[in-house]
Amino acid sequence: DPGAPGQTLLVDFNGPLPGGYSLSGDYGLQTGTTGGAAASAGDASHYLYVSSALPNGSATLSTLDLSSVSFYWGSIDTYNSVDILLASGSVFGIAGGALPPSKGDQGQPMKNRRVFFTAQGNELISGIRFNSSGVAFEVDDVYGVLAGGGSGSAVPEPASWAMLIAGFGLVGAAARRRRGLPVVSA
C-alpha cells in the first residue's frame, strides 16, 4: 500500500527507526493477530499499536519536519483518534468516527485504509500522536514528504555507494602514483 505520489516510506516498524524519528508513550510492535491487536488482511509485517490495555493508550511518533504524511490505519474504530502535531505547536485531531464506516473490521478494505494529511501555508508536520480508548489502534507504513522536498531516505542508493567507492579508489590511485614520481630541483 504505497503512499501518495511523491511520498517516500519513512517508517515501517520492521526495524530501528531512521535518524530524526522517535517513538514515545505506550505502544506495542506486533506481527500477526494476538490479544487486542489485529493485523490487517494480508499484512505479515510488523505494525505499531496502541490500546487502552496499555497504561496510557497513546503513542507519539516524532518526525523530521514534513509537508505531508500518510499512514495505513488498520481497523478504523470510533474509539481511536489521531493528532497531527504541527511545528508551530498547533494540533489537528481527527477521530475514527469521522471516517465512515468506522466499525473496526480488519478484513474489509474500507475499514482499513491509508489516510493522508498535508500541511497548509507555512505549517510543518513534526509528529503524529495515535490514541485509543478501546481495544487497539493499528498503524503501519508511514510515508511522507520532507519539508524542502527531500526524500527522507536514510540509506543511500546502490548507485551512490558505487560512485563513492569509485571516487575513493581514484583518489587512492592518484596519491599512490604521485609517490612514484621523481623529484627534480634546480
What is the predicted pLDDT for the residue at 101?
59
Q: What is the pLDDT of residues 65-92, one digit of tens each?
A: 999 999 988 878 888 899 999 999 999 9
Over pLDDT 70: what percentage of the chain? 67
Q: Say which amino acid occupies 126.
A: S
Q: How far apart are CA 71 and CA 140, in angstroms?
A: 6
Query: pLDDT band at 148, cuts 50/70/90?
Result: confident
What is the predicted pLDDT for the residue at 131?
94
What is the predicted pLDDT for the residue at 153?
47
What is the predicted pLDDT for the residue at 98?
84
pTM, rounded to two decimals: 0.73
Q: Say which amino acid occupies 53.
A: A
Sign of CA dihedral 149, 151, 152, 154: negative
Of residues 22, 49, 19, 21, the one with CA closest to residue 36: 49
pLDDT(183) > 60: no
What is the predicted pLDDT for the residue at 109?
52
Q: What is the CA radius of gyration of the chain?
A: 23
DSSP-derived secondary structure for 15-57: SPPPTT-EEEES-EEEES-BTTB-PPTT--SEEEEE-TTSSSS
Spell out the domains of the chain, with CATH numbers in brackets.
8-152 (2.60.120.260)
pLDDT(185) > 70: no
DSSP-derived secondary structure for 58-111: EEEEEEEEEEEEEEEEES-BTTEEEEEEETTS-EEEEEGGGSS--B--TT-GGG
